[in-house]
Amino acid sequence: MILVFGKMGQIATELQSHKDIFALGREQADLSNPGVCAETIKHYEPRAVINAAAYTAVDQAESEENLANTINGDTPGSMANACADLDIPFIHLSTDYVFDGTGAIPWSVADTPNPKNAYGRSKLKGEQLIKASGCTHAILRTSWVISAHGNNFVKTMLRLSEARDQITVVDDQIGGPTCARDIAKACISFAEQLIKDPSKSGIYHYSGQPNVSWCQFANAIFEQIGSKTVASPIPTTEYPTTALRPINSRLDCVFTQSTFGIARPFWRDGLGKILRDLEGEHDKA
């Protein structure tokens, strides 16, 4: 059995479609209590652990950094220590926000993190504590997660397309939209391969291709659904947020493919599946 922390999030939801998964929700595992989460792992004695739960309110983290640090930092660290004690792999989801978002070159796993907001700092803390635990691990940095579940950019654009013919979307932030379904499959593969070969432990990048701006991505969504809505480009400076967003979210995923045989997924394919899933839900309603 693979133990998953998280039940309602985008990636956790997709993980539960795989066999041999036991997912824990907030009522079963309080992420603000690192010790309880560690004891939970020891209680279940799984083959591997996937942490798909996190504090993800990026703007709110600016005023709740202590809580974000506990959930995204201390708790994954305690989970990793428990996995080290049991000698099992720990798969942890991280983010491109650990970088400062400058430049235009895709971020390599060898690049030095330099987070520019509280959320990024909390996720970096988690990475550091996991590495310090000595457990067999894969820290999987990803970006721009989308799915048919929860709140995400795709669902926001679909809602806007029903009400407006013209919208403005940031065009100078560049990254790779990544389908939660693909991330879930990658996590399972990471776990299975690490069970057989712990030497593959390390930090890995995984995001969809090709890289696009948010504005380009919005128009791709409208195109796929046959909407007349058009997204016009604006700079980040015209869409201020409480927390700074990275301009460059490109991730170099070569190391992931060479080590685990997992190639970057094409987000247009995943987007099509998401839109079909959402259309099916709409037809049932």
* Residues recognised as catalytic: 119
Read off the tokens for 189. Answer: 């593969």
β-pairing verdict for 90-95 and 145-146: unpaired
CA distance 177 to 129: 27
| Beta carbons within 8 Å of 212's beta carbon, 6+ residues apart | 174, 175, 176, 177, 220
Contact 89, 80 (CB under 8 A): no
Burial (CB < 10 A; 0-12, 13-18, 19+), residue 102, is exposed
